[in-house]
Amino acid sequence: MAIVVSDLSTLDTTDVQTQLETIRGMLESLEPDIDLNRGVLHDLLLYLSAVLATANQTNVDLVRQSNSLAAIEEDPTLADDDVLDRLASNYRTTRKEGSQATGSAVVVLTASVPTVVPFGTVFTSNGVTFTTPSVFVGRTNEDDVITDTDKLIQTSPSGIISFTISLTAEEIGDNGNISMGAQLTPDTTLTNVSSVYAAATFGGGTDEETNTELSARLLAGTSAKCLSSRSSIDGMIRAEEDFENILQTSVLGFGDQEQIRYHSILPVAFGGRMDLYVRTTELWEESVVVKTATLQSKVGPVGTWALTLTRDDAPGFYQVTKVCQEGEGAIEDGYAAILTAGFSVTVNTGEDATASTTFIPDLDTADEARFSRYSTATVTFTDTDTDASGLTNGVSTRDYDVVVRKMPLILEIQDFVAGRDVRNPASDCLVKAPVPVFLTVDITINVLRNSTEPDEDDVKQTIMDYVNGTGFTGTITAAAVSGQVHNVLPTNSYVDDITLTGSLLNPDGTTTAVGPSSGTLSIVEDAEAMISSRTVCFFCAAEDITVTLETIDAP
């Protein structure tokens, strides 16, 4: 237990001397005839008793601190795990044990023949291992797909043969939330299998709750759970089981420049509007949506197509990263259509045949709705892989895999806060994903010749954990990133240089370059465009980190 004093040489000297005087005073009253000021009794009896008494008192003080939420908040390292767990139980709260990530993987085959992936097959991606929770059999004939573990083998228009399986991470932790397209390497040779990729971003992986996180949750938990103050709003959302793992919230309402949804002929802020920005996961989620595109125009065999992402396709989406032939969205080497520069974003609050029956926030423009569940988009792209010669503009249609990058749970949280029993009668509440800055990191690490080289995966994970855990902020520093990386570097290696480069995705759909910088990377705030340290979060994925190791000689 961390709260027990195990080394008597680490006590506070002043405390020991104070205890010595206290014990001397008490013993002198009890035994006035013995000399306790000097000599054998002083050095052997009084001194050693004072040391032990101080150790006991220190233990008592540590236990007392561990039972205080205020003291724990000041210094979470003082809190012993067991003591904090018992304190949390007083508030009917238990430490989150963490969970294993799960997801779907695409198994690419060399031939369209029945293929078996045995139960318990281990796959590895970026040092994280996953297993199949059951046997999966790829079937060539739909009539042979009988059980849940039978999967129909499909062939994409470009000839890629594949079927999907489910995987579960072997260990708990958020490092199991691998990105869509991440390559998975089996530990055994699988017959007829050429490669395996994550079909979409894996999810559900969480780390065991630390003392810092548990104490923060306790403090939030004691607040009233309602849409009133910022802490109570945060506590209310976290109290819901489906949202208990969200990372940070930021509420902007009356008095905040970033709150622009005052639709009145008078240029004044009259309240009643609340924007709730939520970072639900460390990294965005990528998934594939199958959409039907309509041919817009063609030049020879090359057609330009357009499709619409509805507000239900990817609520809270950030961007479309690629459009592929149907069935190839997750495949790294699959064909990707040419997206036109940007894509138009509109707002749809539900004035269509499937109008929402829940309370709808006041929305006027596409910019206001951006990153919320009310945002829609028209995506235009050029498909150089499909011969459009015989197709008709405005009539011909074709299905495509659209890979969308988004923040999960935006729809679910919006529906929750719009509920009649939950929402504030005096205000609407619009839930949004954070305004993202997509960060790339170039880091150079010097390693002394013949020394142990750093593990690049560890370095990347450390950078990701730090950047994606910074919350709502407009600034990130290379020094802070460097400090984190040094904690995982072996002896005789050090960070030589870091360059941070950001791309801010504005609510109006444009992008703004941020940096590059080897010092402090900061956004240019524009509160009236809803860009500020209260709306912006930094995101960094493993593929956006470049680690360069340089060998150096001793001077």
Only segment of 13-21, 57-65, 161-169, 497-505 that touches other proteins (CB under 8 A): 13-21
Q: Please enumerate in sequence order all residues whose Cβ is within 8 A of that of 308, keeping only pairs 6 or more positions apart, or say none.
A: 291, 376, 377, 378, 379
* Total site size for other proteins, rule CB under 8 A: 20
Give the nearest distance from C-beta 4 to other proteins in angstroms.
19
User: In the bound complex, what is the minimum distance in angstroms from residue 21's beta carbon to other proteins?
Assistant: 12
Chain positions 21 to 40 lying near other proteins, rule: CB under 8 A, are 33-35, 37-40
Count of CB atoms situated within 10 Å of the CB of 310: 15
Tokens of 376: 């829609």
Told to check if 55 binds other proteins by CB under 8 A, we report: no
Nearby residues of 475 by Cβ (< 8 Å), 6 or more positions away: 520, 521, 522, 523, 533
| Interatomic CA distance for residues 464 and 443, integer angstroms | 13
CB-CB contact of 550 with 446 (8 Å): yes
> Which of 16/260 has CB closer to other proteins?
16
How many CA atoms are closer than 13 Å to the CA of 480, on its beta-carbon side? 13
Q: Which of 13, 29, 90, 357 binds other proteins (CB under 8 A)?
A: 13
Residue 51 interacts with other proteins (CB under 8 A): yes or no: yes
Please give the angle made by the CA atoms of 13, 19 and 22, to the nearest 5 degrees.
Answer: 145
The stretch near other proteins (CB under 8 A) out of 46-54, 116-124, 284-292, 361-369 is 46-54
Instruction: Name the minimum Å distance from CB 50 to other proteins.
Output: 7
Output the smallest distance, CB 58 to other proteins, in A: 13
Cβ-based nearer residue to other proteins, 35 or 453: 35
Residue from 21, 22, 25, 43 in contact with other proteins (CB under 8 A): 43
> Does 347 engage in binding with other proteins (CB under 8 A)?
no
Strands (E) across 63-210 are located at: 100-109, 115-117, 122-125, 128-131, 136-139, 150-152, 154-155, 161-172, 185-186, 193-198
Which residues lie below 8 Å from residue 253, measured CB to CB, with a gap of 6+? Answer: 259, 271, 273, 274, 275, 427
Residue 217 CB, shortest distance to other proteins, in Å, is 40
- Helix, strand, or coil here: 84? helix
* Under rule CB under 8 A, residue 491 binds other proteins: no
Minimum distance from residue 51 beta carbon to other proteins (Å): 6
To other proteins, the closest distance from the beta carbon of 1 in angstroms equals 24
Query: Are 277 and 372 within 8 A, CB to CB?
Result: no
Smallest separation (angstroms) from other proteins to the CB of 61? 17
Cβ contacts of 542 within 8 Å, gap of 6 or more: 126, 179, 460, 461, 464
Give the Cα separation of 329 and 322 in Å (integer).
Answer: 8
CB 190 within 8 A of CB 113: no
Q: Which stretch binds other proteins (CB under 8 A): 7-15, 194-202, 295-303, 475-483?
A: 7-15
- Measured from the CB atom, the residue of 25 and 519 that comes closer to other proteins is 25
Q: State in angstroms the smallest separation of the CB of 43 from other proteins.
A: 7
Min. distance of Cβ 19 from other proteins in angstroms?
9
- Mapped onto helix, strand or coil, the DSSP state of residue 25 is helix
244 binds other proteins (CB under 8 A): no
Q: Report the distance separating Cα 104 and Cα 208, nearest Å.
A: 23
Residue placing its CB nearer to other proteins in the complex, 31 or 187: 31
The encoded tokens of residue 40 equal 């054998």
479 binds other proteins (CB under 8 A): no
CB closer to other proteins, 19 vs 382: 19
Q: Name the one range near other proteins by CB under 8 A: 16-24, 254-262, 368-376, 516-524.
A: 16-24
Which region among 44-52, 410-418, 442-450, 514-522 touches other proteins (by CB under 8 A)?
44-52
Q: Which is nearer to other proteins, 28 or 207 (CB)?
A: 28
Determine how many CB atoms are found less than 10 A away from the CB of residue 217: 20
Question: What does the binding site for other proteins look like in residue numbers (CB under 8 A)?
Answer: 8-9, 11, 13, 16-17, 20, 33-35, 37-41, 43-44, 47, 50-51
